[in-house]
Every structure is written in C-alpha cells, then in structure tokens.
Amino acid sequence: MAATHITFCRICEATCGLEVDVEANRVVDIRPDPQHVVSQGYACVKGTSFASVQHSPDRVLQPIRRTRSGWKPVAWDGALRDIAEKMRRIVDTHGPQAMGHFVGSAGGANVLAPLFRGALFAALGSNRMYGTGTCDTMNKFRVNEDMYGSPMRLAYPDIDRAGFVMVLGANPAISGTTLFHLPGARGRFQAVVKRGGRAVFVNPRRIETAQVGEHVFIRPDTDVFFLAAFCNELIRQGHVDRTRVDRSMTGFETLRGAVAGWSPERQAEATGISAETLRELVRSHTAADGAALYMATGVNQGRSGTLCFWLLECINAISGNLDRRGGTLMGEGLFDMAKQVKDDPQMQTSFHRDDDLPTVSGQQPSGMLADDILSGRVRGLIVEASNPLLACSNPDGRLDRALAGLDLLVSVDLLRNETGNLAEYVLPAPTWLERPEIPYALQSFAACTPKPYMIYADAVVDPPPGVRHEWWIYTRLAAHLGVTLFDNRLLSLAAKLNARLAYSRLDRIAVGPAKLLDGMLKKAGLPGTRKFAAEHPHGILLPENPGGNFLGTDRVLTGEGKVDLAPEPYVKTFEDTAASLHRREIASRDRIKLVGKREMRRLNTSSANCERLVSEATNYAYMSVADAQRIGVGDGDVVEVVSAFGRIEIPVRVTDEMMPRTVAIPQCWGHEKADGLSHARQHPGVNSNLLAGDGYENIEKLSGMSHLSGIPVDIRRLRGASGPGGSDQGVTASSQ
Ligand SMILES: Nc1nc2c(c(=O)[nH]1)N[C@H]1C(S)=C(S)[C@@H](COP(=O)(O)OP(=O)(O)OC[C@H]3O[C@@H](n4cnc5c(=O)[nH]c(N)nc54)[C@H](O)[C@@H]3O)O[C@H]1N2
Ligand SMILES: Nc1nc2c(c(=O)[nH]1)N[C@H]1C(S)=C(S)[C@@H](COP(=O)(O)OP(=O)(O)OC[C@H]3O[C@@H](n4cnc5c(=O)[nH]c(N)nc54)[C@H](O)[C@@H]3O)O[C@H]1N2
Ligand code: SF4
Ligand SMILES: [Mo]
C-alpha cells in the first residue's frame, strides 16, 4: 500500500506543493497538492516527473573515483581523507585562494548546505567561491546593496494588485520567476489584465507568457537605452513623486542628469521600440493605480545588467511605486536576512581579486573560472549541484580544458554529469525528496512573494544508504583538514562530533537537519518542525506585506538611511559607456544576436537525463521567417552558427515568434560526452554556450555577470533537413 506524503518541489523557485505516493521507499506517483496554501494545486511537469530522476539507474549511489581503468566505487572515509589531503597540499603550496568551490542553482534550494560549505572555506581562508549566480542574477544583488544597503533587500512586484506590470527579459509562464516566488505565474499575469490592467512583456521573442498580455519586441541587449529613455520621459512628463523622493531618496538630480540625453527617439534607433510606443507605455504606467517593472535573466545576462536593474529600480522608486501596494514591495522573511548579511564582509561587494572585477555577495565571476585555473590561481575546485561545463560560457571548449587540468576536481551531485566526468571524485548527495526542508533560502529569508507563507516538509523517502548530505560532507572534510568551523572551537567540535555520530550506529542522537530547522522555525515564532508536519503540512499563510514598511524606516540600510538613486559607479559607467554602446549597436544592427530559451520540460542541464521529460534528440535554433528566407533555410535544415568565440551546428525551426535578426537557442544542451547520463547522451543536442565568450572582456564589470545573452553571431546554411553531410553553400546572414 502506498503512503501519501505532502511535500513541496525544490526544482525552481515556485516551490509548488506536491503529494507524493511512496511504496517501500520508492516514489510511485507525484501530483500537485491542491491544498498547498499558495500553489493550490498548481505544479508543472518537471515536479511531477521527478520520480524518474529520483530512481534513475544513473544515480551515483556511493562515492566514485576516476582511475585509469574507469570509475571505481570507493569508501566515504578513504575518499574524504584523500580529498582533504589534496586540499591541504594545494593550500600549503599555493595558498588558500588556490582552493575554490562552485555552486549551482540547486545549491540555493538547500537551506543547510551553504552554512557548512561557507564555514569550511572560511576556515580554510579561501573566499574563492564561484557559482551560476554570475550567470543569472548577481547584478541585482549588487544594485540592492548600493541602492538599499544590503544585497538581500529585494523588492518584488505586487502583482496581485498592480494596474500596470512590465516584464523585461523573463518568461514566467515557462520559467516561474527568479528572486520572486510565484507558482502558477501565468494566471497571476492574466488576472492583471482581467481586472483592467496591463501586463506588457518586452522581449526579443513573443514568449508564451505574452499570450495573456501584450508583447513588445526589443533588440537583445539594448534594454539599457529603453530604460534610460523610459526614466527620462517619466521625469520629463512630470510624473515624479517629489514628496517621496525628497523625503526618502538621494541622488535624484544626478539620476535626472544621467538620463537626460536619452530621448524616446534615440533609444528607438537601438532597441527597435518606437518612440511613440515608449511614450504611450510611460503614459499608461503613470495613469495606472500601481505600476511595477520587473526584469530577469534575459536582461541580467547582457552587457549592462547592473545598469539596467539600477534604472528599473529607479523607475519604480521615483514614480512613487516602491514600497506601495500595487507597486513593488520590500520582502520580509523569517529573519531580517538583509540586516544580518549587511555587515558580513563576505557578502559585501569587494575587489580583492587581482583584476578589478568584483566579488558580489561572495561570488566571483564564473566567467573568469577558466582564466583563473589556466593562470594557476585556482588548483582545486569542489563543484556542488552544478554543471558549469554546459551552463557557463565555454568558448570553444576552453572550460573543459581548464577543468581537466586541475590538481583536484570534486563533484557533489546526484549524477555524474559532464563536469563530474572530468572530476577525480563524484560524491553522491541526496535529492530534495530525501531532505527535510523549508523553502528556498531566499524565500524563507526575503519572502518576495505576493502570498508570504511558510512550510516545512520531512524527507519523503530515505536516501540510499551510500549517499550523504552536503552538510555532512563539508563537516567531515573540515575534521580531516583539522580546521575550525564557524570561528568557534566549541561549535566546531560539536559540529564535527555530530557529523561523526550521523550515519553511525548512534545516528539517532545526532542533530540532523530537521532539528536545526526546528530551531530556526521556533526562533521565528512559528511552530516547530514536528507540529508543522503534523498540523500544517500544506503550509501556513503569513501576514501579507502591507507596503509602507520600508521607506523612511530603519530597513533602508544605506549610510544615510535613504534610497540611493545614483550610486557613483553606476552613473560613471553609464556616462562612460552608454553612448559608445549605442553607436556600436546602430553600426551592427544588421547582425543576428543570439538569445537563450528555457523550455517547460527542461531545467537548465539537470533534467536532460529524465526520460519522462526529454524525448527530442536535439534543441533547435529558432529564427524568424524573414531571417530564414534571407539565409535560405527551412525547418529542420542544419545551420552553422558562428560567434567571435566558437562555432556550432544545429537544426533550425522557423517561427513568427522571433524578432528578425535574432536567434533563440535553448541553452544547457550538448550532452554528447555525458557517459554518466545514459538518456541525455542519447538526446544530446548542442551546447550554445560554446558561442559565449569568457574572460575579462566578456564580463560585466559592475557585478561579474557573464555575457550570455545578445551575442552577435553569423548563420549559414550547411545542409538540408534530410541530407546528412550535404554541403550546399548558403549565404552569410550578417552580410545581407
Ligand atoms: N522550465 C524551466 N524553468 C526554469 C529554468 C529552466 O531551465 N527551465 N531555470 C530556472 C532558473 S535557474 C532561472 S534563473 C529562472 C530564469 O527565469 P527567466 O529569467 O524568466 O528565464 P527565461 O525563461 O530564460 O527568460 C529570459 C527571457 O529573456 C529574453 N531575452 C533574452 N535577451 C533579452 C534582452 O536582451 N532583453 C530582453 N528584454 N529580453 C531578453 C528571452 O527571450 C527570454 O524569454 O528560471 C528557472 N525556471
Ligand atoms: N546561454 C545561457 N546559459 C545559461 C543560462 C541562460 O539563460 N543562457 N542560464 C544560466 C542560469 S540562470 C543558471 S542557474 C545555470 C544553471 O546551471 P547549474 O546551476 O549548473 O544548474 P543545473 O544544470 O540545473 O544543475 C546542475 C547539477 O545539479 C545537480 N543537482 C540537482 N539537485 C541537486 C541536489 O539537491 N544536490 C546536489 N548536490 N546536486 C543536485 C543535478 O544533478 C545537475 O547535475 O545555467 C546558466 N546558463
Ligand atoms: S513550477 Fe517549479 S517548483 Fe513548481 S512543480 Fe514546476 S519545477 Fe517544481
Ligand atoms: Mo538560474
């Protein structure tokens, strides 16, 4: 007989409620939880298909080591001892910064692992942390820090009340949202329109979400001109809330001066959005009872992601919409994490690298990883929950070569992915169904969601016996290395003793994750884990954010206690670069630009091996009818896509969704070398990040973000749909 457990999905930030049927420790069915206090019966196919990842025959079930004669299972103790010895050798010979770590997006869903990972590396004296944060959203953390005083002061659109919502560079119906937790996003946007408001999606692709609202095409990587002109026009039309600005913000005159030269007409030359459309959007924004602008990865990954988010937040702020119902609200979580991290030097933007690139919220630019390894600055790397080989820019396979040359590479993962394949050790971790948890760290601590709530879920199934929690792995490594965790000998001893007890015969007396979470919940005045699981399995709604709880309060954490509308580095960078970027844009407006495309059945690289989700053998290059005709390609034809950094071959899909001179290729494919992923290997597709540049020139200097969207490419027809090896010559698109 199957027992039904109530839990929540941790694949993306929507964290939808799920019902899971379990029989003899096997997941037999996963359904949406109709009673979850927020998702109310919504879940997507990735969540409900997770059993095939959970029970994948490719799961790594005990530590494995790469040897000359192939991968061999090894015992935990020996593996951790050997890894610790190698780490020690690297640190003693090359200094602590030579030992780094790399964290992927699933790392953000794990509430406990970061505490112990952070403690281990701090104890070693290394702040060499990389992660896919610099592929998705570090620009926002940087701006939050400078405008509001802490990277974790996150504002989010009050979508359930706004009269005008404009979304740039996000596709919530497919992707959910980031730093803004919104299960069933499509319906929430639809509701804006149903109550007479507007939902406008500014995007080079007519995205799925735009079906419930309006769509405006924008040339990739030109949002900075659109936002500057929007801001300027708002000021020019006199729609500034002077009372709020004068009382609670600084730098308005500087901001006004910076954007003054950006007229609707000037932006139109680069963005393709007509001056009239922009003026009309500003009028509508101003007329609405509550308006909010939101942006995400499509803009974050451009060359001006930090400037864009600065301008966007300024528009929300000066129009009187920040900290107001129907506008944008400042999240409030279990604890005031923003306050807690504010004075943590690890979390403040710093420039300790020997180039002038920033470390934002503790993360160094992932686009410098290959450089840092090839120059000898990094000799060892622990990768947790990530697959940087496919997820990060990897020009012409340069990252493969760099990672392969490390003295030590360890992957902590469910599977042996492409990155793990280059490692010396793969250490198996539990899935989220095997972990007790509260939702996403950010959701719990910043609560950027229209319906704040808390939920606790016990582990639904026991992990396989040879699998170990990440917190345990890091604590045991610390014990082998002889370093003091948390800068506190007593606490460190206790943590190490606890890790010794865990997974031993005395496991029952060890303090496991559930006990730690119990303490956290109780400290926040909520029921403990046991009570939560027994009495509130579908979660508890917390008071809604009333707005008016940020400006003018001590939650504004800047020196002056006011929102800074003109942080000096942004104004300077904008003034130094915008005009020349604009000129270059106009000079190259005939070039095709590459953008990414998230798909419902795929989650970054990590669902590629899921049989229930992936049936197509390849991804495609999506291009407009006009581009296809000019290049002379039809559906299914294979093209060569060439950038300044690499070259790929990929079949085409012709669609009216794409803005002309733009091509969309779903990222995070390219599994031809994945011999640890049997299904993915048979459905390999093509890695578009071979076309992205890395290194200093291809990093956004204010936040360390990689330039992954809006990459200029040339496209040429290689062969017809059914003609393998055909070599009829096409024409180069860029010169047409
Ligand atoms: N199904 C699914 N869901 C996911 C993921 C997934 O892989 N699959 N990944 C998860 C992760 S890790 C994240 S960070 C979030 C990301 O969530 P989103 O940020 O919503 O990500 P995307 O769906 O890729 O949307 C980016 C959009 O930006 C557009 N775009 C590209 N370049 C530009 C530009 O220069 N300007 C403008 N205005 N638009 C541009 C693209 O066409 C695309 O529609 O999604 C999460 N959810
Ligand atoms: N061109 C382009 N490139 C992009 C993007 C884009 O929009 N365009 N998006 C970028 C973004 S936003 C992101 S976040 C990255 C995503 O890239 P990554 O952050 O690397 O994330 P995934 O590919 O989802 O996951 C990698 C690994 O995590 C493992 N994993 C899953 N759950 C767990 C767990 O609980 N514990 C452990 N230890 N391992 C686990 C999976 O098995 C998988 O092997 O890609 C980036 N790359
Ligand atoms: S939307 Fe995200 S959280 Fe919800 S079921 Fe799908 S993958 Fe899981
Ligand atoms: Mo991401």
* CATH number assigned to the domain comprising residue 654: 2.40.40.20
Last residue of a domain, one of 571, 605, 632: 571
> What's the CATH code of the domain at 183?
3.40.228.10
With a 6 Å cutoff on the Cβ, whether 429 touches ligand 2 is yes
What residues are paired with 31 via a beta bridge? 19
pLDDT tens-digit series, residues 373-384: 999 999 999 999
Average pLDDT, the chain: 94
Instruction: Tally DSSP H helices, then E strands, for the chain.
Output: 27, 26
pLDDT of 450 reads 82
Cα 415 to Cα 54, 129, 148, 418, 437, distances in angstroms:
10, 22, 40, 9, 21
Report, as an integer, the average pLDDT of 368-373. Answer: 98
Q: How far apart are CA 256 and CA 414, in angstroms?
A: 51
With a 6 Å cutoff on the Cβ, whether 44 touches ligand 3 is yes
With a 6 Å cutoff on the Cβ, whether 185 touches ligand 3 is no
With a 6 Å cutoff on the Cβ, whether 9 touches ligand 2 is no
Q: Note whether 170 and 295 are within 8 A (CB).
A: yes
For residue 325, the SS3 value is coil
Best CA proximity match to 225, nearest among 582, 570, 565, 567 = 582
Q: How far apart are CA 499 and CA 475, in angstroms?
A: 6
Mark whether 567 and 597 lie in a shared domain. Answer: no
Q: Using the CB atoms, write b or e for 563-575: b if 16+ within 10 Å.
A: bbbbbebbbebbe
Q: Note whether 205 and 664 are within 8 A (CB).
A: yes
pLDDT tens-digit series, residues 538-576: 999 998 999 999 999 999 999 999 999 999 999 999 999
DSSP for residue 245: H
What order of strands is seen across the sheet that includes strand 291-295? 214-216, 198-202, 164-168, 291-295
What's 556-576 look like in SS3?
CCCCCCCEECCCHHHHHHHHH
Q: Which ligand 1 atom minimizes the distance to the CA of 602? A: 8
What residues are paired with 215 via a beta bridge? 201
| Angle made by CA atoms 399, 706, 391, in degrees to the nearest 5 | 50
Q: Note whether 332 and 549 are within 8 A (CB).
A: yes
pLDDT tens-digit series, residues 393-427: 999 899 999 999 999 999 999 999 999 999 999 99
Q: Which domain holds residue 595?
A: 590-735
Mark whether 563 and 648 lie in a shared domain. Answer: no
> Is residue 411 a part of any domain in this protein?
no
> Is residue 245 a part of any domain in this protein?
yes
Q: For ligand 2, atom 30, which residue shows the shortest CA distance?
A: 385
107-116, 465-474, 603-612, 670-679: lowest mean pLDDT where?
A: 107-116
Mark whether 567 and 693 lie in a shared domain. Answer: no
Q: How far apart are CA 19 and CA 21, in angstroms?
A: 7
Question: Which ligand is nearest the CA of 439, by number?
Answer: 3
Mark whether 659 and 567 lie in a shared domain. Answer: no
> Is residue 399 a part of any domain in this protein?
no
Mark whether 165 and 260 lie in a shared domain. Answer: yes
pLDDT tens-digit series, residues 136-182: 999 999 999 999 999 999 999 999 999 999 999 999 999 998 888 88
Question: Which ligand is nearest the CA of 668, by number?
Answer: 2
Question: Which ligand is nearest the CA of 426, by number?
Answer: 2
346, with CB counted inside 10 A (0-12, 13-18, 19+), is middle
Model confidence at 580: pLDDT above 80: yes
With a 6 Å cutoff on the Cβ, whether 706 touches ligand 2 is no
304-313, 436-445, 665-674: lowest mean pLDDT where?
A: 436-445
Q: How far apart are CA 274 and CA 261, in angstroms?
A: 17
The residues near 50 (Cβ < 8 Å, ≥ 6 apart) are 9, 11, 27, 30, 431, 433, 610
Last residue of a domain, one of 571, 602, 623: 571
Q: For ligand 2, atom 17, which residue shows the shortest CA distance?
A: 391
DSSP for residue 304: T
Best probe residue, ligand 2, of 61, 668, 677, 713 (max atoms within 8 Å of C-beta): 668
> Is residue 302 a part of any domain in this protein?
yes
With a 6 Å cutoff on the Cβ, whether 63 touches ligand 1 is no
Q: Note whether 325 and 160 are within 8 A (CB).
A: no
> Is residue 422 a part of any domain in this protein?
no
User: Which residue type, as a one-letter code, is found at position 501?
Assistant: L
User: Which residue type, as a one-letter code, is found at position 685?
Assistant: G
With a 6 Å cutoff on the Cβ, whether 46 touches ligand 3 is yes
372, with CB counted inside 10 A (0-12, 13-18, 19+), is buried
With a 6 Å cutoff on the Cβ, whether 595 touches ligand 1 is yes
pLDDT of 181 reads 85
Model confidence at 734: pLDDT above 70: no
Mark whether 605 and 565 lie in a shared domain. Answer: no
Q: Note whether 619 and 686 are within 8 A (CB).
A: yes
pLDDT tens-digit series, residues 244-287: 999 999 999 999 999 999 999 999 999 999 999 999 999 999 99
- Cα(45) to ligand 3 centroid in Å equals 8
Mark whether 564 and 640 lie in a shared domain. Answer: no
Band of residue 725 on the pLDDT scale cut at 50, 70, 90: very low
Region of 70 on the Ramachandran plot (φ > 0 left; ψ -120 to 50 alpha; else beta): left
Question: Which ligand is nearest the CA of 432, by number?
Answer: 2
Band of residue 474 on the pLDDT scale cut at 50, 70, 90: very high
Q: Using the CB atoms, write b or e for 295-327: b if 16+ within 10 Å.
A: bbbbbbbbbbbbbbbbbbbbbbbbbbbbbbbbb
Mark whether 318 and 191 lie in a shared domain. Answer: yes
> Is residue 200 a part of any domain in this protein?
yes
Q: How many domains does the chain have?
A: 2
With a 6 Å cutoff on the Cβ, whether 297 touches ligand 1 is yes
- Cα(132) to ligand 1 centroid in Å equals 14
Q: How many CB atoms lie within 10 A of CB 427?
A: 26
Q: How is residue 663 written in tokens?
A: 């091509």
Q: How far apart are CA 174 and CA 180, in angstroms?
A: 14
Percent of the chain at pLDDT above 90?
87
Q: How many CB atoms lie within 10 A of CB 589?
A: 14
Mark whether 164 and 311 lie in a shared domain. Answer: yes
Mark whether 563 and 666 lie in a shared domain. Answer: no
Q: How is residue 201 written in tokens?
A: 């999606």
Q: Which ligand 3 atom minimizes the distance to the CA of 45? A: 6
390, with CB counted inside 10 A (0-12, 13-18, 19+), is buried
> Is residue 643 a part of any domain in this protein?
yes
What residues are paired with 249 via a beta bridge? 563
pLDDT of 730 reads 38
> Is residue 259 a part of any domain in this protein?
yes
pLDDT of 646 reads 96
Mark whether 611 and 642 lie in a shared domain. Answer: yes
Last residue of a domain, one of 571, 601, 628: 571
Per DSSP, helices labelled H in 59-166 are: 76-94, 113-124, 133-136, 138-148
Mark whether 647 and 558 lie in a shared domain. Answer: no
Band of residue 346 on the pLDDT scale cut at 50, 70, 90: confident
CA 267 to chain centre: 28
pLDDT tens-digit series, residues 499-543: 999 999 888 888 888 888 898 889 888 999 999 999 999 999 998
Best probe residue, ligand 3, of 7, 11, 209 (max atoms within 8 Å of C-beta): 11
Q: Note whether 128 and 97 are within 8 A (CB).
A: yes
Q: Which ligand 2 atom minimizes the distance to the CA of 103? A: 19
pLDDT of 722 reads 64
